[in-house]
Every structure is written in C-alpha cells, then in structure tokens.
Amino acid sequence: DAGVTQSPTHLIKTRGQQVTLRCSPKSGHDTVSWYQQALGQGPQFIFQYYEEEERQRGNFPDRFSGHQFPNYSSELNVNALLLGDSALYLCASSFGYRTYGYTFGSGTRLTVV
Amino acid sequence: SQQGEEDPQALSIQEGENATMNCSYKTSINNLQWYRQNSGRGLVHLILIRSNEREKHSGRLRVTLDTSKKSSSLLITASRAADTASYFCATDLEGAQKLVFGQGTRLTINP
C-alpha cells in the first residue's frame, strides 16, 4: 500500500521563477494538505484541498496556489519565487476532510538562489 | 503564527533515560497530536489525544493533556538511540479544520 508520494525530492530555482510541486495521496485518502517548513521551524499550514476545492488556507500570499485533480492528487504552485520561499514542502493526505489520520510524504526540498 | 509552543527547544539525554517534552497552546482544541520527524524528512504520527481525554499510552509513549492549562506533555520512556529526532505537537483547532504545528523539540539520545 503506497504512502504519500511527493515529487521532485529536491529542486533548485532562481529568484523570480515559478515552481510546481506534486503530491499523490495515500491510497484511500481524498484530502490533501500542504505545509511549508523552514529550516529549524515547525511546519506552517499553506492550504487544504478536498473534493477539488481549496477548503482552508493559511497565512500565505496569493503567489501560492494549488489544485486537486479528480484522482485526488494535488499540485502546489509558487510564482515569483523569493529567497524566503526556500524550505521543505510537505504534503499530507487524510480521508474525508478530517484533521486526524494524516500521512505525510517525505517532502520536496526547494532552494531558491 | 504558531499555535503551539514547545519546551524545551532541544533536549539531550543518555540512552535508557526518560525524555519529557511539553507543548502549550492558545485556543480551544478538538484534539492534540504528536509527530516525529527524522532528519528534516516527512512527519510520522505518534499519538492523538482528544480534548476530553487526560492521558493516553502507546508503547513507550505517554501523553497527557490539561485543557485548563492548555498544555500537553509527551513522555518517552527507556529512550533508545533510534528515538533521536524532532518531535512536534499539532493542535486541531475548534472550528478551524486544520492542524497547526508547534516549533518542535530536538531530542538527541546519546549512547
């Protein structure tokens, strides 16, 4: 039973560029949440998708956007990258728009130079 | 901003000793969860305690919750080198439908 899969694992981008991160949820899960984790900090909630709609959003600018597909997979897009966007981006899946039973992926390490 | 604040930020103990980490939060919760993270990779769910529970056990883990003080503690007994990791508390806020994480405690178990 595959867990949460995130791609790519590492990424280096230049300031001002755009990036797309991908997440495939655990089998049987239909809700995807995205978190940003700066070095030495706790994960910060970006947004959550359920039934292909953004249901909850954290305190992140509109440069951060996402999408959920009919197969429940999800993308996180960040436009106009800033140096401060360098972080580990974590995807978590769960079932039925619940806040328990989360399974996390291993994350995408984004470095903006 | 972070909902939970953890204490201590870092903890170093000898193998076999017990490790205690604390988490304080600010607003009413549905439940509180503890996660472990190894070397900056994905988080692993350890244990969940609901707002109407006061104590919960899972193997070598013991979690307590005091809703009047808005605080929780995680006790790891008989620590092992493999317990070396960062530990985070996460609160499920009432009416918010999202998990909010604390800053974490970095635990080092010395052989």
**Do the Cβ atoms of B25 and B90 come closer than 8 Å?**
no
Note the pLDDT tens digit of each residue in A80-91: 999 999 999 999
Reduce the DSSP state of residue A104 to 3 states and report it.
Answer: strand
Centre a 10 Å sphere on the Cβ of residue A66 and count the other Cβ atoms it contains. 20
CB within 8 Å: A92 and B43: yes
A35 at interface of B, judged by CB pairs closer than 8 A: yes
Assess whether pLDDT exceeds 60 at residue A55.
yes
Q: Give the pLDDT mean for A3-22.
A: 97
CB within 8 Å: A104 and B96: no
Q: Give the pLDDT mean for B13-27.
A: 96
Q: What is the residue-averaged pLDDT of chain A?
A: 95
What's the helix, strand, coil split of chain A in %, to 5?
5, 50, 45
Contact list, A48 vs chain B (CB under 8 Å)? 97-98
Report pLDDT for A101: 82
**Among B73, B74, B50, CA closest to B60:** B74
Chain B residue nearest residue A10, CA to CA: B41
Chain A: give the shortest CA distance to residue B104, in Å.
6
d(CA A26, CA B104): 25
Token output for B18: 């017990």
A44 at interface of B, judged by CB pairs closer than 8 A: yes
Chain A: give the shortest CA distance to residue B78, in Å.
26
CB within 8 Å: A48 and B97: yes
Report pLDDT for B81: 96
Note the pLDDT tens digit of each residue in B32-84: 999 999 987 889 999 999 999 999 999 999 999 999 999 999 999 999 999 99
CB within 8 Å: B99 and A99: yes
Using CB atoms, pick whichever of B1, B40, B88 lies closest to residue A88: B40
Report pLDDT for B39: 85
